[in-house]
Each structure stands twice: as C-alpha cells, then as structure tokens.
A and B are shown apart, each in its own frame.
Chain A
Amino acid sequence: MSEKQLRPVLETSHLGIDFGGLTAVDEFNIKIAPQEIKGLIGPNGAGKTTIFNLLTKVYQPSRGNIMLDGKDTRNMSPVQVNHAGIARTFQNIRLFDKLTVEENVKIGLHEHISYGMFSGIFRLPRYWKEEKRAHEKALELLDIFGMADQADVRADSLPYGAQRRLEIVRALATEPKLLLLDEPAAGMNPSETAELMNNIRKIRDEFQIAVMLIEHDMNLVMGICENIVVVNFGKIIAEGTPRQIQTDENVIEAYLGSGKES
C-alpha cells in the first residue's frame, strides 16, 4: 500500500519533440504523485498544450520516456494511453456535437460497458442490463456538476461553460488515474470559476486521482494547485509550490518578457 502511494502516477524523463527542425519541447522531466493537483503554466506558445499532446500520444515524442503508473507508454496509441489511465479535456472544446450529453458521457464509459456488437443488434438481455447500468452511471457522473437534468440535450446546444464541464465528466467516465485539464476555466465568470475549483478538489478526493491543469487564471492555479511547473520555450524554468513560484525570478522574467511583446 505504502509503496503504491510513493510511486508517481506519471513520470517523464528527457521528454521532447521537434517539429521540422524546431524544438517545441525539450528535457521535460516531471513527476506527478497520486492525488496530486499540479499546475502547468507559462506564457502563450510556451508548449503547454504540446506537452499534453505528448502525454496522450496525439504526438509521438521525438525523445524521452513517459512512465504511466510504472508502465512504459513508448509504443502506446492515444487509445491505449487512455486505457492505461490518462484522460484529458481540450483547449478548443472537442465534444461529440450531434450526440446528447448522456451519450457523450457513455462514450467515456465505452470501455466499461461490457456487451458486444451482436448483443446490441439482437438486443440480448446483456444489452438491457449494461445499458441500464451505463445510464445510471452517466447520470451519477453528470450530477457532480449538476448536469443530470440536461442529459437528453444535444451537446452542441449547451452553453460554453457547460460544454467545458461536460468534457470533464466525459474524461472522468473513462476512470483515469490522471486527469489532464487544458484551460478548464477559459471563458468562465469568477463565480463559475470558484465553483469549478471546488469541483476539481471534490473530484480528486472522491475518485482519488491526480490532476494536472493548464490555466491562465492565476487565482485558480494558485488556489488549488499543490505544485506548479512553469514552462517557457518548451523547457521547464521553475517548479515548486505556489508560494515559491510567485517569487521566482525566472518566472517573473518570463511573464514580464512576454508581457512586453503583447
């Protein structure tokens, strides 16, 4: 038990990727402990989303290793990485627009619904049993964000904030060990953001999972992250607790530097 708690959920070493000769991410080394909430911040274009894409194998790394719960993900596809325990949301929301809210969550549950194509076509007892279970599970998950009453609404007709929340529920449904959130608070007002913070903590505690989030809202990042990694130009420039990060000279430099440009 104690050994399991010591082993990081995710550990990367010398992770990097090049695009056409340009190095986008380099020497990215982090460890995420079980049930840790980690922040990944940095100026625009620093490579944060690229790091998420590397961890979930949307991009194959040019070099380095990703160990997920002790397993090497070297030869894994995005699907296998998800099965191994990483789920994510997207900066530019990617829902299944023409499916309902409930169906979106059921896609997250896909691997955990156990009946085959033929049970489905011939409506065998197994189909009814498993669909009922999936229905209940989906509503239960939606209820975390108080969205159960919108289960039959088409995903693309949800307001923006609700779409972001649905992405989190769908990711949770895959039963991950590590949840990657790409700008979960983007486009939310302060009260929605505050509610989101509570919910992220609640999710971590209830599901006992680790969370890593990219976010520009510093109140949110400093408020809920136990540890923060700061990247700039694809490299880690600082790492530590919110308090340490706030006073780190490299970080101030990076943010002020980018501030001048914009």
Chain B
Amino acid sequence: MLANLINGISLGSVYAIIALGYTMVYGIAKMLNFAHGDVIMVGGYIAFYSITLMGWPPALAVLAAIVVCTALGIVIERLAYKPLRSATSLAVLITAIGVSYFLQNAALLLWTSNTKVFPNIFEKLPGLRLGAMQIAPVTIITVLANIVIMVTLTLFTTKTKMGKAMRAVSEDKGAATLMGINVNRTISLTFAIGSGLAAIAGVLLCTAYPTLQPTTGSMPGIKAFTAAVFGGIGSIPGAMLGGILLGVIEIFGKAYVSTQLSDAIVFAVLIIVLLVKPTGLLGRKVNEKV
C-alpha cells in the first residue's frame, strides 16, 4: 500500500514535469504540442548515448540532453508551429501530430527499434530506508527535482521580467503586443523551457523504467497531457497536482484493478474530469469573446 503510494508519487512526479511543458505551451500558444512526449524520448536517447558511447558522467549527459531538447523545441516551433499562428486549432493539432510522428520515425531510423537498457545513473547514491521499505534513489531524486522545478518556475513567472511577459502573453496576446512585449520571442522561450524540462523528465523516466524505444515518449506524453488537463491547463501548481494524482491513480489501478486496464483507467479519469470540470482542479474559466 505505502510502497504503491510512493511508486505512484514517483511516477506522478515525472508526469508533473512533462505536464509543465504542456501546460506552459497551452497557456501561452493556446496549442496542444502533441510532439512534447517525443521530445522526452529524444532526451532519453541523447543521455543514453552520452553515457554509453561517449562515456560522459551522468551530470554532463543530462546537460547534453537539456541542450539538445531545448534547441529541438525551438526549431520545431520555428519551422512547424510559427507559420500557423493564425490558423485553426485543427490545422495546428494535425501539424503537431505530424511532428510527433516525424520524431518517432526519425528516431526509429537513427536508433532502430531495438530496446535500449538505460543505465541506472543514480546507482552510487544511497537510498532511504523507511521501516521495512527501501526507497530507491531515483524516486527521491525525481520527487526532489519536481519540487525544485515547480518552485523555480513559479518564481520565474512571478518575479522576472521574462516570466511576467509570459503571463501577459497568456492573458491577452494583443494587449501584450501593445505593451511592447515580443510575443514571438516569448512563445519561443516557452517552447525552450518546456523542451528543456522534457529532457529532464526523459532522463528520470528512463532511469525509473530503464527501457528506451522510439515510442517511449508517446504514452507518458499523452498521460502527462491528461495530468495537465486534470490539474487545470495553464496552471503550474495544477500540473504538479494533476501529475502526482494521475501517477498514484495509475499505480493503484495496476495493483488493485487490472494491469491491462490501467491505461484505460487513466484515460477514464481524463474523460470524467473534462466532463465534470473542464477547467481542471486549479484552472480558471475563460469566456469566449463574441
């Protein structure tokens, strides 16, 4: 029971970090970046090859993953999403699905479909004993990373000029432009931050569940979007709350209901949340302008 709860919080923390990327991009660019999950996968591969092929220390490998994913995020935004700023959400979403498929299949060609076993980069760190239970170091690091990222982002968006600009753009693009805020640059920055976070999430996910394939990111990506919606899209604490709750629900579903149906349970949560409270737990209602 307690073990399941801790596993759930650990998985949920990974979801939360991914969900932050979704929630920030959705809040600011008003689009569902379907390819976000696949950026996680790319982060995982970069870290994997940095360690196994280049023999870099884990910290450097994580840094490399962050750099590559951040750059990837900016490039994707420039090439695929920016030209569609005034297009319908249907067109943007289909493009995002295309980008997601592109990343998956490019990874398939580059790195083949063979499952890579991700090294345990926190091997040397001590775990935590809690009574009869051993908590793995990756669990502790994941939860800590989640908290640090949350706090940093909250401070960033409330205290810094760039962060305030991001909030202004998410409130009202037109007004933000009038205030002299460079909307395009702000959106780029959001993608950069979201993708950098995806790299961290990728490393944590692959360490906790050490298999890596080109499709590794897609399911956690969709689930993390579910978490972002659950918590209230656009809300940073919402992403954390939604992520952790979803992780716990998934692990408990696996343990007590059915392993095969655990995904179905997670998606059922999404559907129920959207129907009962479409704005999520901590989201706000936005009126359509007429």
Are A and B close enough to touch in the complex, i.e. CB under 8 Å?
yes
What mask results when residues 51 to 87 of chain A are scored 1 for a CB within 8 Å of chain B, else 0? 0010000110000000000000000000000000000
- Interface size of B by CB at 8 A reads 2
Q: Contact: A49 with B287, CB < 8 Å?
A: no
Q: Which residues of A contact B290 (CB under 8 A)?
A: 49, 53, 58, 90
In the assembly, what is the distance between CA of A58 and CA of B290, in Å?
8
A19 at the interface (CB under 8 A from B): yes
In the assembly, what is the distance between CA of A90 and CA of B288, in Å?
14
Give the total number of A-B pairs whose CB atoms are below 8 A apart. 6
Q: Is the interface of B mostly helix, strand, loop or mixed?
A: loop
Q: Which residue of A lies closest to B284 (CB)?
A: A20
Q: Which residues of B contact A59 (CB under 8 A)?
A: 287
Q: Which residues of A contact B287 (CB under 8 A)?
A: 19, 59
Q: Which residue of B lies closest to A49 (CB)?
A: B290
Q: Which residues of B contact A53 (CB under 8 A)?
A: 290
In the assembly, what is the distance between CA of A53 and CA of B287, in Å?
12
Q: Which residues of B contact A49 (CB under 8 A)?
A: 290
In the assembly, what is the distance between CA of A59 and CA of B290, in Å?
10
In the assembly, what is the distance between CA of A90 and CA of B289, in Å?
12
What mask results when residues 31 to 61 of chain A are scored 1 for a CB within 8 Å of chain B, else 0? 0000000000000000001000100001100
In the assembly, what is the distance between CA of A53 and CA of B289, in Å?
10
Q: Which residue of B lies closest to A19 (CB)?
A: B287
Distance (whole angstroms) from the CB of A214 to the closest CB of chain B: 13
Distance (whole angstroms) from the CB of B90 to the closest CB of chain A: 13
Distance (whole angstroms) from the CB of A231 to the closest CB of chain B: 17
Distance (whole angstroms) from the CB of B170 to the closest CB of chain A: 16
Q: Which residues of B contact A58 (CB under 8 A)?
A: 290
What mask results when residues 279 to 290 of chain B are scored 1 for a CB within 8 Å of chain A, else 0? 000000001001
B248-290 CB contacts (< 8 Å) to partner A: 287, 290
In the assembly, what is the distance between CA of A19 and CA of B290, in Å?
14
In the assembly, what is the distance between CA of A58 and CA of B287, in Å?
10
In the assembly, what is the distance between CA of A19 and CA of B288, in Å?
12
A-B contact pairs, 6 of them (CB 8 A): A19-B287, A49-B290, A53-B290, A58-B290, A59-B287, A90-B290
- A-side residues, CB < 8 A to B, are 19, 49, 53, 58-59, 90
Shortest 3 CB-CB contacts between residues of A and residues of B: A58-B290, A53-B290, A19-B287
